[in-house]
Every structure is written in structure tokens, then in C-alpha cells.
Amino acid sequence: MFCLLKLILLPVLLDYSLGLNDLNVSPAELTVHVGDSALMGCVFQSTEDKCIFKIDWILSSGEQAKDEYVLYYYSNLSVPIGRFQNRVQLMGDILCNDGSLLLQDVQEADQGTYTCEIRLKGESQVFKKAVVLHVLPEEPKELMVRVGEMIRMGCVFQSTEVKYVTKVEWIFSGWRAKEEIVFRYYHKLRMSVGYSQSWGHFQNRVNLVGDIFRNDGSIVLQGVRESDGGNYTCSIHLGNLVFKKTIVLHVSPEEPRTLVTPAALRPLVLGGNQLVIIVGTVCATILLLPVLILIVKRTCGNKSLVNSTALVKNTKKTNPGIKEEPCYFESCEGEKNIYSSIIIREVIEEEEPSEKSEATYMTMFGLL
């Protein structure tokens, strides 16, 4: 298969800068989350049909850190280096001068500038391209949702190169159920049309919300059921390249709703014991009320009698010439009764200030 070679007429417009022995391209930037994959492109386009004989990928983490080899290719042999073993591989077509690198299971320590160097047979120049990789904290791999709600499950493949998504597939694996297709998307390059379809009990409940042209195959699941809990695996196909991501979905029961029933709106009916207690309390209060009134009256009467006796004594002291003369009278029954006079000094009116009058109150004491 022959590769399509493009003629480069304006190197400046294509961000190429020529040096003595190097051909550099302005760096690209890529942002990924911990645990995701990243495709860093490195394609050298030339009018001459020359083969690649060496590719080097080098990581520069910072000013103080030393450069670190990631992978090198030589004589049809690709060799990952150090901690990148089992995590990196060349994904480009070497025959088409494509030395793109796929980095899987990205770690925080992977952040830095990746430089690709391509050397062609018979050429002294070295083609270089840099990719600045930014690493963000890991996205949650386990999601929680309640019955009846909707949930968005993301699936994005980050790449510096334009790759056409040919297929997106979501597979569900329940706690007890077998694997089941949730959603599929097909893209036909010739017709530039994509077809999507939901399957099984997910039918009419799953929608594609990601931008396919940006390698985004995210979906939204509506009307979540308890049986939807399980593992969801997303697969994004870019030609021969396949990116996969798994999300664990936990479904919790729906929150109980408090219903207002006619019975709840009825007035509260008291029980037999409560009614007896209330009636007894009211009756006791009514019976004790007259007794309380009588006690209050007697207390007030006693206070009045004491005050009167004290007043008489004070009057005798102030007017020693006043004498008490007992008054006798016979009752109808022939009994003799004695009235003792109690002298009380009254207040003299303003019209006669010089005159003084005395009032006598008689208290009768019955003699047997």
C-alpha cells in the first residue's frame, strides 16, 4: 500500500523551522487524566520516498531532571525503556513516515515534554517534534446514581493527531447478568454519516452526547433502574487503534416519598385513657375552685379583724378620757345581753375643723 505524500511548499506556514541539521516543528499540547491513554503524533511528510531507519522518543520532565528515554525504534525493532515498558508502543505506519506513540495508563510522573526524533536513510537532517503532556488527577471510575435519575458516562480518547472514529461501542456486564450491548455507533467514511443504536432493555434510554470528531464517545443513560448497576466498558475505534475504558455504576434505591393521605388530614382521635385523664382534671379544677375562693375570703376577714382591734387600742391610748359604758337590754326570751362600746375616731370634715366627733361601734357579745 502506497502512502499519500504531500508537497510542502510553505514551510513557515506549516510551523517548520530549518536548522543546520534539524527540522523542528512547533510543539503540540495534550491534556489527559491519570489512568487514561494518550496518542502523541509524530509524522514526517516529504516529497522524497525515503524510509525511516531510526525513531527516538525522549521525555524531559523539567529543568533539574535528566532526559529519559521512552522508546526507540531501529532496524524494524521497537524497544520500550525503563518504567514505560508495557505502557508504550508505536502506533504509526513506519512506511508512511509515521512514528506516533501511544502512552497507556498515564501516571502523574509522565507529565513533561516528549520529543520525537525521526531519521531517514541517506539524510543528515533530523525531524523533531515535541508534545507537551499535562496530567490531571484521575477521574472517578465508580459512579453513584439513584433509581429514576440520569447519569453521564464519559469516554474520551486524547490525541494530537486527527483520527477519524470508525466505531464506538458500550458493553454492559451486570452483577449477575451476561454481557449486553448498550450502544453502538458506526461511521462510514465514504458517506460521512454515522449511525447509532441502543440495544436490549437500554433501548430508547441511551443517547450519544460526545463529539465524535473529537474522539468523544460519552453517553447519557436516562431513567436508571436497579438492574442497570454493573460495569460499562467503552471502546473507541480509530482504524486499527482501539481505546477502552471501564466505568462501574452503582444504583441505590429511590428515596421514599411521604404521601399525604386523607387519613393523615383527619383530626386526632384521643384514646380512652387520655380522655379520662382530661375529664378528671377539668372536674377536679371545678370542685376545688369554691374551696380556694372561701380560703381567700377567710384570710382577708382575719386580716380585717386584726386591723380593727389594733385601731381600738390606738384610740384608747390617744384619748384616755373616753370610757366604755356597757349597755344592757333584754331580749324577747328574757336573756340579758351586754353591748360594749368601741370608740373609733372619725375624720372631721373640712367645713368644721374645730369640732371633733366620735362614732361608737357596738359589738355585741351574747351572754349565756
How far is Cα 106 from Cα 38, in angstroms, rounded to an integer?
8
If asked whether residues 96 and 159 sit together in one domain, one would say: no
pTM: 0.60
Identify the CA nearest to 245 among candidates 104, 133, 92, 144: 104
How far is Cα 354 from Cα 144, in angstroms, rounded to an integer?
106
What CATH number is given to the structural domain containing 151?
2.60.40.10
- Grid coordinates given for 361: 361601734
Q: Is residue 352 part of a domain?
A: no
State which of 102, 136, 170 marks the end of a domain: 136
Domain count, the chain: 2
Q: Is residue 260 part of a domain?
A: no
If asked whether residues 154 and 114 sit together in one domain, one would say: no
If asked whether residues 112 and 76 sit together in one domain, one would say: yes
State which of 252, 283, 305 marks the end of a domain: 252
If asked whether residues 83 and 181 sit together in one domain, one would say: no
Would you state the pLDDT for residue 366? 40
State which of 252, 285, 306 marks the end of a domain: 252
How far is Cα 147 from Cα 235, in angstroms, rounded to an integer?
26
Q: Is residue 114 part of a domain?
A: yes
pLDDT in tens, the chain (368 residues): 444 333 333 333 334 344 435 666 678 899 999 999 999 999 887 767 778 889 999 999 876 778 999 999 988 889 999 999 999 999 888 888 889 999 999 999 999 999 999 988 877 788 899 999 999 999 999 999 999 999 999 999 999 887 788 899 999 998 777 889 999 998 765 545 566 777 788 889 999 999 988 899 999 999 999 989 999 999 999 888 889 999 999 999 877 665 555 554 555 555 567 777 887 788 888 888 888 888 877 776 666 655 556 554 555 555 555 444 444 444 444 444 444 444 444 433 444 444 444 433 344 444 33
If asked whether residues 234 and 212 sit together in one domain, one would say: yes
Q: Is residue 149 part of a domain?
A: yes
Would you state the pLDDT for residue 267? 54
Residue numbers of the domain that contains 193: 142-252
Would you state the pLDDT for residue 340? 42
How far is Cα 170 from Cα 172, in angstroms, rounded to an integer?
7
Q: Letter for the amino acid at 138?
A: E
